[in-house]
Structures are given as C-alpha cells and as structure tokens.
C-alpha cells in the first residue's frame, strides 16, 4: 500500500487490497480528503464507476462543498476493473466474470472497515454515499442492500431500472434538439434527421470510401460493423450535447452549439453540416474490426469500453437503439446489432442478456427499490432520467427533478452562472443531508 500526505495537500491517495476473489485482482485506488473533517464528523463516500477516478473527486464538487459545511471526511473508491484498479490480465474473459455491480457493492465493505480503522472512526461517524450515473445506482443499492453500513445515499442521474431496448434515450434527445429553452429548434431536429438519412443512404449504396473520406476515418470502412460504428459515433455528438448540455463534457458542449451548426445553411446541405460537426473531434479512429477492438485485452488506465460493454451485456442492457419513429438518427442502430456484439465479443447470447436485465431489476427493485433514506436527483434534459426514480416513493425515499439541467449537473461545483432551478436543487440536497445527520444523532446507527 502506498500512502502519502503533506499538510498543504489534503488528499491521501492509496491502493487497497480486496478480498477474497479473484486472488489476482489489482488493488483498488482510493483518495481521502480530511481538510474539513471535524471530530465525530460524518464520512462522505464518493463512489467510482465505469472510468478512472482522480484526486479531484475528493477536492471538487457539491459533495465537497457539503463536506466543508458539515465537517465531513471525504473518501472516494475507484471501481474494480476501471482506471488503475485493473490487473494487467484483468480484461481476459475468465476475469471479467468478477466484474459485477454486486461485487462492486461488496468492495465497499472491506474498504469501509479499512477507513474506519485508519481514522479510528466510531458509530458516531455517520456514512453517507454519493454517486452519479451508474455510481448513482451503486449509491442507492449500497443503502438498499447494506443499510447497516451506510446511513443514507444521494443518487444522481441514476438509471436504476435496467432496460434492454432503451428507446427512450433518443426520444429525450429528439425532444431536446427541438426545445428552444436549451437552444434547440424544429429546424435543428429536421436537419439532423436529413443528415443521417443521407449517411445511411450512402451506406446502403456501398459508398463507404466516400464516407471514410468525408468523415476522416483513419482506416477504410469495411462492411456493416464499421458502418454502424460510424453512424453510432456521429450520433454520439448529438447525444453528448444533450446529455451533458452546458457542462462541457462533450465535444460540442451544448444543444445550442451543435444546433447552431446544423441550422447554418451557409455551410451547405445537412450532410455537409454533419461533416462540420464531425470535424471538431478530428479523426474517426477505426481498427480493422470493431469486434476485434472490443475483444482486445490490452490494459490501459483509460480502458473502459470492453469492461462497460460487458456489464451492459451481463446486467443492464441500456442499448440506445434507433428503431423508433421518433429517433432522428439511423435505423441501422438496432437492438439486434447490439445483441450480436454481446455474442461475438463475450459469447453472451441474446436470451442471456434479456435474462440478466430481468434479474437486475428483480434483484434491486428497478425504479421502485423501496429503500429508505435515499434521495434521487435528476435533470429533465438528461436522457437517463427516464430510467430513474422521479417521484417521491415514501417519506424517506425521495426525488428531485431539476428543470433544464442535464446529466449529474447537481454534482458539479457551484458557479455564479448556475441556473436558479439547479441552485435550488443543491440547497434541497444539502438540507436533506443536514436532516439525515441530525437524525443520525438521535437514532441508533443502522436503523
């Protein structure tokens, strides 16, 4: 284990060895920020997900602002198999069987014991967990499955209902592209649909060389797999602009910016405008085969696609298909193609994927988990909100839906330019955390 700390640097970074399976699993990274911690103060657990964590996850964000307010110790644990918490042989098929949400939840147990011993915590140190997106699921599920270990949870943008064919994602995208409140318009949506129809027509006509040239592919497009990969990547620009509207987490940053290009007639046809949108990210990197790329077991700290796709095939589905008439993208983005990838890459059959999605919902309760002291927070621009909990279930299983905000917006650090609904939502979240902490002082821990 490596630990390092300086008085002017509030974070502790370390690696934590898990038990017991698999024996070869790489230690998980964690970070600690004790700058605001007061004796007897709470512990705020920031949960990692399908990407690497960093020290900034204990130094920045609304949970850190609340830690300052409530005197909390902030800890963050990287998810097994992601970031540096991945063994050199971790992407081999025989190891991926240990990559599950249930195993990830179990990892919190020894980590909680480790932090408790390291910082000499007692029952008076109340644990509250925070997570966004898939980690939002884990936050809610940690409270659901281990209520004696975590007192409460804030689950932001958490798609707790697994869904095989997630047609609702692109319905929200289409609605946002036409929504003037976020910079969309009917002209924008129509131009997007026209552009994708043009690309799909060229695919059917076999003009893959032209598509590779127009969209700057590093290699030649070969067959339907590469064509679908191209269409999926082009759709991602618009999905990202909607999902992370105004948050700067996508190439285009906002619906308004991408629609400004798609409605600019001076650029040329809708197809030419789509080429302009693509040019922002530069080159489209295609290996010789999409399936071969996903089968690669080469480990990099930035690796996440092989692991996350495996989790979708074995637990969640979440396939953002475009077979619904409201979808503005290509009809080639089908459920059958997604399921074929599961079979070709992991030897997971379509029926197994369907069974896995059903099991996940049965095991966790989908969007009616019946947990206690869980706050679900969503933005109505975020396409993932349709799989979350949007209305209060009980007095202690509550929901906040924020008007005009996108994916995990409430988790970001506050800024002067934040819209009023977001400011008010953060105030509600902070007040709820304060109520939980007050309740924890009055009731035995674990109840």
What residues act catalytically? 133, 382, 407
For residue 287, give Cα distances in angstroms to 101, 206, 434. 30, 19, 51
Per DSSP, the residues of 118-186 read: HTT--TTS-EEEEEESHHHHHHHHHHHH-TTT-SEEEEES---S-EEE-HHHHHHHHHHHT-GGGT--H
75 and 13 in contact (C-beta within 8 Å)?
Answer: no
User: Which of 140, 130, 159, 164 has its CA nearest to residue 42?
Assistant: 130
Cα separation, 230 vs 288, whole angstroms: 13
Six-digit token pair at 8? 């002017």
Residue 78 is given by DSSP the state P
Strands annotated E in 285-408: 317-319, 374-379, 397-402
Cα separation, 309 vs 318, whole angstroms: 10
Angle between helices 350-364 and 134-145 (to 10 degrees): 50
Cα separation, 368 vs 370, whole angstroms: 6
Per DSSP, the residues of 242-263 read: HHTTTTT-SSS-SHHHHHHHHT
CB-CB neighbours of 40 under 10 Å:
12
CB-CB neighbours of 253 under 10 Å:
17
For residue 216, give Cα distances in angstroms to 201, 213, 237, 335. 18, 5, 15, 27
128 and 155 in contact (C-beta within 8 Å)?
Answer: no
Beta bridge partners of 76: 31, 46
127 and 446 in contact (C-beta within 8 Å)?
Answer: no
């Amino acid at each position: 284990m490596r630990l390092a700390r300086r008085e002017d640097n509030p974070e502790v970074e370390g690696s934590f060895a898990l038990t017991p399976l698999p024996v070869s699993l790489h230690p998980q990274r964690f970070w600690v920020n004790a700058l605001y911690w007061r004796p007897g103060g709470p512990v705020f657990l920031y949960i990692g997900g399908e990407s690497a964590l960093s020290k900034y996850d204990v130094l920045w964000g609304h949970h850190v602002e609340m830690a300052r307010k409530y005197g909390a110790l902030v800890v963050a644990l990287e998810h097994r198999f992601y970031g540096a918490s991945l063994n050199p042989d971790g992407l081999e098929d025989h190891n991926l069987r240990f990559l599950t949400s249930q195993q990830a939840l179990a990892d919190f147990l020894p980590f909680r014991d480790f932090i408790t011993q390291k910082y000499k915590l007692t029952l008076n140190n109340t644990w509250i967990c925070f997570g966004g997106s898939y980690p939002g699921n884990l936050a809610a599920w940690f409270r659901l499955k281990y209520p004696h270990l975590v007192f409460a949870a804030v689950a932001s943008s958490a798609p707790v209902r697994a869904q095989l064919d997630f047609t609702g994602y692109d319905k929200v995208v289409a609605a946002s592209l036409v929504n003037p409140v976020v910079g969309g318009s009917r002209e924008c949506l129509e131009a997007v649909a026209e552009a994708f129809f043009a690309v799909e027509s060229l695919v059917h006509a076999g003009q893959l060389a032209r598509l590779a040239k127009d969209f700057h592919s590093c290699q030649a497009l070969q067959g339907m797999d590469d064509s679908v990969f191209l269409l999926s990547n082009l759709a991602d620009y618009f999905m990202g602009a909607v999902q992370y509207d105004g948050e700067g987490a996508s190439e285009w940053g906002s619906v308004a910016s991408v629609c400004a290009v798609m409605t600019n007639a001076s650029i040329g046809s809708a197809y030419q405008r789509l080429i302009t949108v693509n040019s922002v990210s530069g080159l489209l990197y295609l290996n010789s085969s999409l399936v071969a790329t996903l089968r690669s077991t080469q480990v990099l700290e930035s690796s996440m696609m092989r692991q996350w796709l495996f989790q979708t095939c074995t637990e969640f589905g979440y396939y953002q298909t475009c077979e619904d008439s409201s979808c503005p993208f290509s009809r080639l983005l089908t459920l059958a193609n997604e399921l074929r990838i599961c079979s070709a890459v992991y030897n997971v059959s379509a029926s197994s994927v369907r069974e896995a999605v059903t099991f996940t919902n049965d095991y966790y309760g989908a969007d009616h988990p019946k947990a206690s002291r869980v706050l679900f927070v969503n933005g109505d621009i975020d396409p993932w909100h349709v799989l979350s909990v949007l209305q209060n279930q009980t007095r202690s299983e509550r929901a906040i839906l924020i008007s005009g905000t996108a994916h995990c917006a409430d988790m970001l650090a506050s800024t002067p330019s934040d819209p009023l609904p977001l400011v008010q939502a953060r105030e509600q979240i902070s007040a709820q955390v304060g109520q939980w902490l007050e309740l924890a002082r009055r009731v035995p821990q674990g109840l």
